[in-house]
Structure 1
Amino acid sequence: MISLLNRTIIHIIFFSRLCGQIDLYVSEFRLFPDEIQMLDLQPDMVQWSVAGRFLLLDKMAQQLIGLGLMGDVQMVGGFGRQNYTFVEPVWMGVTPGGILVVDRLDNRIISLDYRLNFIHSSVLEPRIFPELAAVDPWGELFLYSSQYHSIFSVERGVIDPIPHIDLNTYSDIRSCVREIAVNQDGTIGVLTCDDNVHLFSKLGQYRRSIPALLSKTYFLVPLRNDWFVFNQDGNGVSILDNVKLEIPGVSVPVMDIKGLNRSIAVLSKDHILILNVQYQ
């Protein structure tokens, strides 16, 4: 059945030509192991990890999942076999030093090793109750707080109390922020609920705002020197040159999308679809 499903996906992608200079090709299709479905987990966030692994987060179940190449599963939180739990996890990501989990209600950053073993936790002072987060290639963490409508920087578990980016100073940037992301050069992107992307330098200096020619955008994905936005219906567009692309229907509705180098990982309800992006 999995083989047939893979052939179906490859067929869809191979004959799905993008309207521009970019093509998507299936690299891998990973169906969730039975263990995830038996526990009735519904991951709503995905992150690339190390050695071909992925991280999944079920925010409602407060469960962090490590998914290996051979389908091996590791868990921490909710129903996990580890002894550490989360209160309200809103983000997880991989840094050069390990894995970070941001707990909004607990105002805490939890550090784990790549095997999900607990290392330590850091309390955020001031208590900013972060809802969104992103990490740059050098391991600096950025947290968005709607309470302050600002982005704060965190290094080695210590938050700078002075906002790295105070969005209140920009009258054109709405107070509803949907996602933040950082590209390979350290540029910080902010996707607002009015389908605009606002770009800032690594130092927090404003660069420009670009409207996305797509409605109901939900995901902001930096890829090489480009930025893409997607909605949950699988529609996507480059904000720099307006090249449109589409996630195959087998992975819709989209729960989350993350980019790495020339690939994107698409999280659906029961699988991860890995697509290679080819520029013509």
Structure 2
Amino acid sequence: MIPKPSILDVASLCSLVFRKGAILHDLMALPVTWSNLKHLDFHGYPSTSTKVLNENKALQILKACPNLVSCSFAMNDSGSALIPLTPPITLRFLKEMALRPYAWHVTKNFASSLNLPHLHKLSIQSTSGSSCSPRNYEDSGLCEFIERFGSTLRNVAFQHITITQDALLQCLPNLPNVVSLTLFDAFWATVYGDCARIDGDLFRSLTPRLDESDAPDYSQIRGGYLHCPMMEELGLSSTFGGGALEEEALVDFIEARRTVDLQRRDTDRVRTAARLKRVTCSVYWLRTLDVMEELRRRGVDVEGFFFKCQ
């Protein structure tokens, strides 16, 4: 138990960071004025603790912290099925959320229990579980998060191996304002089923078709609009050897995103494509092509553009 008086009792306390294993007892039992907190970062209970943190418990914490600006939770339990809260918990100041769900998946209806009108940054990365079964769009708590809050998100990172390829391609249209997108997997995972892949279909879904004036030709894009049109940075990260990338599709994607006319606005839609600034591919490789040399050969302006594949 934490004795009183405690530094946690200080009324001006607005930021708390708990490293993994820092506390054994219930987080909510701490003598904290939760409504004053603006930043909460909880890295998890120790393995010897009998206390659990799952999405149900996280909702209790979030309800007690209406003024949060950023939060991070490492779960150690998958919890039970959630029924969406009515009304949802509103965190009108929250801009950043990082979740480390237990055994890969965010519980469905967790996102539906929240109202986050200004969420700009979302990271969902599991560090537990040895086997992963990818979920389709309708059953994925990750996809639910992106569908519910995608219009405000600017920075998104998640493990694509937790969802199917169709689910990934369904998520991308829900990120119209994302500037930075990172997709990664996990070296310890044994994946059962067909998970999302970093392949030509992904690159083509992000590639604008340009008209003669180098403006996006939306009529040539499936669905009538470009996925992630404001994206400036794409990160692809694998921890166990992601395989060879589809070189032509990758170069076509970069070329189109570097060539697009930023000043042009389609007459029927206000969205156009941002100019790509950075692509990193960690533990992926290219079979034969030197991407930067190929871009220069095609006459693409690569000044200020960063590309790395290793």
Quick check: TM above 0.5?
A: no
**The TM-score by the shorter chain falls in which range?**
under 0.3
More strand by share: 1
More helix by share: 2
Return the structure number with greater relative CO, CA threshold 8 A, min gap 6: 1
Q: So what's the TM-score if we normalise by structure 1?
A: 0.25
Q: So what's the TM-score if we normalise by structure 2?
A: 0.23
Q: Which one has a bigger Cα radius of gyration?
A: 2
